[in-house]
Amino acid sequence: MKHIGEIIETNTKMFECQSVKLDESPDFGGFVKVISNDMTIYGIVFNICTMSEDITRKPVAFGLTEEELRRQQPQIFELMHTYFKVLIIGYKKEGYRGILPPRPAKIHSFVYDCEREDLIDISKDLNFLKNILNGQTGIEEELVASVIRNLSKVVLEKDCYMITVGKELIRLLKNDFDRFLTIKRMCKI
């Protein structure tokens, strides 16, 4: 299993990672995991950015293609990094649980893409919907829709799963029907 990032900031609800390679991160709404503190912690990617490692120096436009820029100014790419933030949705220790882990992941732990078996475990516990809706990421509806679309690709009975997810969203958003409709349109429930 090859790691895709390393944790550079961590807390109980989320962690931030630096990608192994520039411009290579998991997709928005993608599932990742980290093995830390004798458990596997699972999360969803909700923010991706590429920026200078020196936050006081903003990149400037050169008017060159990426290939031309790599030939003429290769040092620029050494100073840039891709980062992604992960909202924690659950952990596995003697079975998957869709709740926050008792301890955050350790800093500098390696982050991996989830495998199909991980996604099947996550799909069975719909607590991730509540975690995302209450996650205060600022993009909760888009993230819920992306996660539902991703999980619907791995579950065996897609139609049954989509009905179950739709019912859970109605329960969670019973006082905010507009928000439910927004998510429904984005994931075609």
Q: If you search the block for the tokens 């290939």, which residue do you land on?
A: 67
Q: How far is CA 138 from the centre of its chain?
A: 14
The 10s digit of each residue's pLDDT in 58-117 is: 888 999 999 999 999 898 888 899 999 999 999 999 999 999 999 999 999 999 999 999
CB 1 within 8 A of CB 112: yes
User: How far apart, in Å, are the Cα atoms of 48 and each of 1, 13, 80?
Assistant: 22, 17, 13
Report the pLDDT value the prediction gives residue 60, as an integer from 0 to 100: 87
User: Distance between CA atoms of 158 and 153, rounded to whole angstroms?
Assistant: 7
CB 169 within 8 A of CB 181: no
Q: Is 134 helix (H, G, I), strand (E, B) or coil?
A: coil
Mean pLDDT, residues 124-133: 94
Report the pLDDT value the prediction gives residue 117, as an integer from 0 to 100: 95
The region of weakest confidence among 35-49, 90-104, 111-125, 175-189 is: 175-189
- For the beta carbon of residue 8, count every other beta carbon within 10 angstroms: 13
Which residue(s) pair with 111 in the sheet? 5, 34
Q: Is 33 helix (H, G, I), strand (E, B) or coil?
A: strand
User: Distance between CA atoms of 10 and 99, rounded to whole angstroms?
Assistant: 17
Model confidence at 189, in pLDDT bands (50, 70, 90)?
Answer: low
